[in-house]
């Protein structure tokens, strides 16, 4: 009887040890997954059209990172068809603000950075593009309906916005305003990663 009791206790002890070992392995795996996720590594993936909802979410997360981890490096990945200009420009300005606050911002185009996505790519301190990715540039577009005066006002606003967009690309590339305007006017100008690097629209192709 004492031998059977000893054996039972041994089996129980072995089972407890195996359970504890499994618990430790699971805990380590969960910790690795937590530490390795994009959020904890300050990597934001923007894979939606630019609008108030998607931009507000990005502003909130980036702001949280800046407050909780001042000066941390941030990677902002863009895979977007573009979207609304004003929310996009709000995000552009905020990223530049983070850069001035001491964060090194790397913007990355993966797949494609189209329209507003191509503009936002220029906000990074370091601009990176995937080897098989594309950049789409074109003039600012917006529908205008209403009275003649309202349409004319909207048109004037779009002209001003086009000038601001051109200024961003001129500042961040080796291209002239005239060259950019002639290639973006009324057409979709698609650029490969190699062309983007040649024109100085990105700093690195991965």
Instruction: State how far the Cα of 58 lies from the Cα of 44, in Å rounded to an integer.
Output: 8
Residue 56, CA distances (Å) to 50, 53, 88, 174 in order: 10, 5, 10, 32
Q: Is 141 a catalytic residue?
A: no
| Closest to 127 in 3D by CA, of 102, 106, 157, 158 | 106
Read off the DSSP letter of residue 47. -
Q: Which of 66, 80, 138, 193 is catalytic?
A: 138
Q: Is 138 a catalytic residue?
A: yes
| Closest to 112 in 3D by CA, of 126, 94, 130, 97 | 130
Q: Which of 54, 66, 80, 115 is catalytic?
A: 115
Residue 28, CA distances (Å) to 19, 23, 200 in order: 14, 9, 44
Q: Is the distance from CB of 53 to CB of 88 less than 8 angstroms?
A: no
Active site residues: 115, 138
């Amino acid at each position: 009887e004492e031998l059977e009791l000893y054996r039972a206790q041994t089996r129980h002890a072995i089972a407890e040890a195996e359970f504890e070992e499994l618990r430790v392995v699971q805990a380590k795996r969960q910790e690795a997954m937590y530490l390795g996720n994009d959020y904890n590594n300050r990597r934001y993936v923007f894979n939606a059209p630019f609008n108030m909802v998607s931009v507000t979410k990005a502003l909130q997360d980036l702001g949280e990172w800046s407050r909780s981890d001042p000066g941390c490096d941030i990677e902002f990945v863009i895979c977007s068809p573009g979207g609304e200009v004003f929310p996009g420009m709000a995000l552009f300005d905020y990223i530049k603000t983070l850069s001035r606050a001491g964060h090194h911002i790397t913007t990355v185009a993966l797949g494609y950075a189209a329209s507003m996505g191509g503009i936002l790519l220029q906000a990074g301190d370091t601009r990176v593009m995937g080897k098989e990715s594309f950049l789409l540039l074109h003039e600012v577009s917006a529908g205008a309906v209403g009275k003649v005066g309202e349409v004319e006002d909207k048109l004037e606003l779009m002209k001003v916005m086009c000038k601001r967009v051109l200024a961003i690309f001129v500042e961040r590339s080796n291209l002239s305003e005239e060259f950019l305007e002639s290639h973006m006017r009324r057409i979709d100008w698609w650029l490969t990663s190699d062309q983007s690097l040649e024109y100085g629209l990105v700093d690195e192709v991965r």
